[in-house]
Every structure is written in structure tokens, then in C-alpha cells.
Structure 1
Amino acid sequence: MRDLIASQDILVSPGVYDGYSAKLVEKAGFKTACTTGAGLSNARLGVEDVGIMGLSDNVEACRMIARSVSIPVMADADTGYGTPATVYHTIQLFEAAGVAGVNIEDQVSPKRCGHMAGKDVVDPREMARKIEAACNARRDDDFVVLARTDAIAIEGLEGAIRRARLYEKAGADLIFADAIKGEDQIKALVDAVDIPVSVNMGFGIRNRPTTPLIPIKRLAELGVKRVTLPRMLPAAAIKAMETALEVLKASIPTGEIVDRPDLLASIDDIWDLMGAADFAALEARYNTFDGLDLDNHPHDATLRPRVLDAT
């Protein structure tokens, strides 16, 4: 993940919330993905992103997503689930889950989606301690700690920049100001800090009142190193499911046979995405007893499990 952030190209991270979305991002050729806290809360619990999803639910969802793909996945750790001291343990749980790094935000707890009214932020010194604890807790220095500030809506751009500089000093690897408005504010943040800046483009390919719709190429020209699109895939899935359900419902009273391959993936598409061929190869290798003689078992190295070199 650090190599990707340090590369010359801007890093594009679509937001994922389940195995389907994560595998599709990898299949499409994107080099990394990020979990969307809102998407996980909506999809797993059926509730709004207002702090109801807890640490265990989040970590377990991220574990399943990270293990399903080979590209690095950054996780949304909300406010870190407590005090700076408890953030220390939060980081270790996410790191053990296999993600490449986390976002931690400076909202008060319980948090809410950064584009909703009524949010507030903690004392910046408390957030700085959370970042410090997060950096000290990681077992691998390559684990990325991103500091998110929601201060623009409460303290304006100047307040967000003051916080960004403090969070950088505390050890953050990336900075992200949520609900940032327009190119001028983005450029001001990029110029104000010496660590890479990440920008949230929300829906990515649809305008949203609280997120400017700026081409990714232009973001790169402004000096942005990473762009996330957390709402794009959940919104696309919702729209597609609504359309399919409407077509089905309309066909029921008519008795019409509906065959709409333009609306649905085929079963072969699904099997391919889930790696059915790879599992078939495992079955062909292991679900046979050929070559295993109970009476005269050969000491053949090819039959022994791999032993990793301890060094």
C-alpha cells in the first residue's frame, strides 16, 4: 500500500462492502480498494451510518473482504471506537484482520456519516493522541494510518488545516478532510501539509450536494495522491436491484417470460467471479486418494505439507 501511495500515479480506491464488490474492483484492474463504513452499516445491519455498527461487526466484515482479494484494502475504523488507549487495541484488531491500513476520524462518538447534519468533532489534542496510539500499536510499520478530519463543517477550512498539521505531527501517513468543497480548498490542504492528501469523491460518477464532482485527472493535477469513491458501488447496486425488481414485478400479472441478460450477470459470470475454477482444481488435487497406500505409505516429500522456513 505504501508503494502505491508513493507512486507517481494518483491512487483510486473504490469503496467496497462485500465479497462481490471487492472482487469486482480487483477484476476491473484497480490496484486497491477501501471499505465504506456507511456501505457496511447499510448492507450488513440495514441502518444508517450513525454509529450503530460496532467494532466487532466492522472488523469481521473487513476480515472477509480482505481475504477475498489480493489487492490491499484500507478499512474505515470510524472514530477508533473509544479513547486513545482503546484505539491502540482497535488498530491491532484491524491489522490482524488483514487490511493494509485504516482511517480514523475526529468526530465525537457516536459518529455519523460525514455528509449528514449534526456532527461534531473532538478536541484536536485527543485526536492527535489517537493517531499516536494507532501508529505505536501497529506491528508492521507498513500498516497505513490515515487521519480524517470532519472539522470543515464546524471550524471551516482554517480549522481543518490546523488539525491536519497536528495530526501529521502525531504520525499520520495520510490526511483526509471530509466534505471538502472545491478545488481551492483541496489545493490549500495539499499545500498545507507534507504528507499525502486523500480526497473523497463520494458517488464518483454522479453529482452530490456535499461533494464536488471533480475529474480524477484534475485531482492529480492539484496534488492529491489518493481518491476514494465509497458510495459509488453501493449506489450502483441499489439502482440495479431496484430495476430488476421492477421488471420482475411488472411481469407477474402478464405471465410474460422475461429474459434480460442486460440486467443480470449470468451464473457463469458469478462462478467465475467467485473462483469456481480454482476450487475445482483444489477438489481435483485433494479429493482423491490415489497414491496413498495405507499399508506401505511412502516417505515422499510431495505428500508432505509445506513447512515454512522460520527465518
Structure 2
Amino acid sequence: MYGRRRLAESLADPEITIAPGVYDGISARLVEREGFETGFLSGAGVSNGRLAQPDVGFLSLPEVADQSRQITDAVDIPIWVDADTGYGNAVSVHRTVRTLANAGAAAVMIEDQEWPKRCGHMAGKSVIGFDRAVEKVRAAVAARDDHAPDLLVKARTDAAGTHGLDEAIARLNAFADAGADVVFADALTTAEDIRRVAREVDGAHLSVNMGFGVRSRPTTPLIPAPRLQEMGVDLVIYPRLITAAATAGMKRALAELETAVGTREEYEAPDSVVDWDEYMDLVGKPEVDRLEREFSTETE
């Protein structure tokens, strides 16, 4: 369902899996049309794009499930869904995984932060205890096994920033032992940290977060995907790319509009927007036209 087996096959391939961030139907469809095999529904992207709020724990399960359902309905590629902390305790995680599986998720990510969580690259985060974190992963795996056997479970730890890399590695190995398919330590600050995690974590695929992908950040260094693959990374996500790029594009277009409304002459800036036909194609108008031709009962 929704490409879950394809996603597992992609991770099993020696070639690194690339997952640009998505936050709505158009962004997901663009990712699909540009030839990427999968997309990552970022909690930060949904909070930023849907609520105009930072990633500090404002999202709820119904909001994320609704966004997941709309996106998976718009594309055929498998979609990872960021479920933050699972919105409660281990029992809540079990329900969260079932809910998101029913919403079409191909994979669900659970993290070990205290609630309210915050973006892993922000100051002030804290994590739950080791045993509680593993318990949540066990609950996610049980929900997968009972309700969506093809679903992938991704387990994230933020412990590197709060307790050090040794603790993060211990948690990732425990998450893998609990049945997680993919593990991920967020906000690692050096390439050597990533190499060490790749060397010392066994039993699950390894993911890293490259943020914008085309612009560096003050936390995790920007490392090209081929080098990450050489380090032993199986999956790289770019959760901040499309929201930041969309913001830059909207700012440029609005600046052009300011110029256009300030002159009496016809003013065009075609590079600021896609043309009508391309936009209609992107939002599926040709398919609606086909269905109208097939099922229309109107007669003259």
C-alpha cells in the first residue's frame, strides 16, 4: 500500500535513498515529477506551512493525519511521515502508527524528545529516559506488525545533544533491537560523528538529516549524498528544502508584484511564476478533464 514495499526495496539497494521534504500536495507532486523515489512529510514543514508556527510541538495527530491523507492521495511515491513523539505515551504511539498507516504513510518516524518537542536543531530540547524511549519504539513496532506489516518504523533520538554521542548510539542500537527498520540521530555536529554512528550502530538502516540540502546550517555540516553513502548512510532527508525554497520564491514574486502595481505599463516577470498550462497540469486538471469526458451524462 502506498509504495511501502518499494520503499523497503529502495533502502535495501546499495544506492543511498534521497527523500526531499514535502508539506502539501503540490510539493509532494513536484518531488514525484522531478523523479525522486520518495518524500518526507516533515513535522516542521507542516507546522510552518499549515500553521505559520515554528516546530515546537503545536501539531496534533489529527492535523498530521489529515495532511498525510491529502498528500498520499496526490502522489504514488511512498511518503515518510514525521509523527514527532507520537503525541503521548507508548499507548499513544501505538494509536498514532495505526492512524498514520490508515492515512497512507509508507513509514512513520517516532522520536524520544519530551513533549512539547522542538526542532532538533533548536536549543532547549530534552529527551525522555532510555527505557521509556525503547518502550515507545516497541509500541510502534507492535502497531506495525498488527495493523500494517509493510509499514516501516523509523526511530529517532535527540540524545546526542543532551547526553552525548555514546548515549545516542546506545539508544539507536536499542531501537534497532526493538524492531525499528531505520534509526536516526538528529543534529549530529560533525562528519566524524556520522561515521561513528554508522560504524557502531547495527541492525537497522541509518538515516541522516541534511536540512536545506543546498545551504549550510550551524549544526549538522552539509555533506553531499555520495559521501554520506560512503560513510554507511542509507537514507538522507532534506526536510527544510522545499518550505524554504517556496518562501524565497514567494518573496521574489511579491517583489515583482510591487513593481507591477506601481506602473501604468504592462509589466511581466515570467520567470517568477510557472505558466498556466504547467500549473494546471501540476494540479491534475488533465485528469479531471478525462474523467469529465468519460462520465459526463449531459446532453444538448
TM-score range, shorter chain: over 0.9
Return the offset for 1:162: 1.0
> What do residues 186-206 of structure 1 show as CA deviations (whole Å, max 9, x unaligned)?
111111122110000000001
Q: Which residue in the other structure is 1:258 paired with?
A: 267
Contact in 2 for aligned 1:132/1:170 (Cα 8 Å): yes
Q: Name which of 38, 43, 50 aligns with 1:44.
A: 50
> What do residues 80-129 of structure 1 show as CA deviations (whole Å, max 9, x unaligned)?
01000111111100000001011101000010111111000000111111
> What do residues 128-170 of structure 1 show as CA deviations (whole Å, max 9, x unaligned)?
1111111111212220000000111111111110111111111
Secondary structure of 2:20's aligned partner = strand
Q: Which residue in the other structure is 2:93 paired with?
A: 87
Describe the shift of the 1:211–1:257 C-alpha distance in structure 2 as closer, same or farther (beyond 3 A). Answer: farther
Q: Which moved more, 1:246-255 or 1:220-229?
A: 246-255
Contact in 2 for aligned 1:35/1:74 (Cα 8 Å): yes
Q: Which residue in the other structure is 1:157 paired with?
A: 165
Q: Distance in 2 between matches of 1:231 and 1:257?
A: 36
Return the offset for 1:272: 0.8
Secondary structure of 1:80's aligned partner = coil
Q: Which residue in the other structure is 1:129 paired with?
A: 135
1:54-203 matches, cutoff 5 A: 54-138=60-144, 139-194=147-202, 195-203=204-212
The one-letter amino acid of 2:12's match is: A
Q: Name which of 5, 10, 29 aligns with 2:11.
A: 5
TM-score in terms of structure 2 length: 0.94
Answering whether residue 293 of structure 2 is matched by residue 284 of structure 1, we say: yes
> What do residues 5-27 of structure 1 show as CA deviations (whole Å, max 9, x unaligned)?
11121000000001110000000
Q: Distance in 1 between matches of 2:168 and 2:100?
A: 26
Q: Which residue in the other structure is 1:300 paired with?
A: none
Q: Which moved more, 1:234-243 or 1:183-192?
A: 183-192
> What do residues 247-300 of structure 1 show as CA deviations (whole Å, max 9, x unaligned)?
21133333342211111011111111122111111111111379xxxxxxxxxx
Q: Distance in 2 between matches of 1:11 and 1:255?
A: 51
Return the offset for 1:181: 1.9
Contact in 2 for aligned 1:76/1:104 (Cα 8 Å): yes
Q: Distance in 2 between matches of 1:63 and 1:127?
A: 27
The one-letter amino acid of 1:193's match is: V
Answering whether residue 230 of structure 2 is matched by residue 230 of structure 1, we say: no
Secondary structure of 1:131's aligned partner = helix
Secondary structure of 1:262's aligned partner = helix
Which has more helix, going by share of residues? 2
Contact in 2 for aligned 1:18/1:61 (Cα 8 Å): yes
The one-letter amino acid of 2:215's match is: R
The one-letter amino acid of 1:69's match is: V
Q: Distance in 2 between matches of 1:137 and 1:251?
A: 55
Contact in 2 for aligned 1:199/1:226 (Cα 8 Å): yes
Q: Distance in 1 between matches of 2:238 and 2:135?
A: 28
The share of aligned pairs that are identical, in percent, is 45
The one-letter amino acid of 1:135's match is: V
Aligned-residue CA RMSD (Å): 1.2
> What do residues 40-80 of structure 1 show as CA deviations (whole Å, max 9, x unaligned)?
00111111111011111111011101111000000000000
The one-letter amino acid of 1:241's match is: M
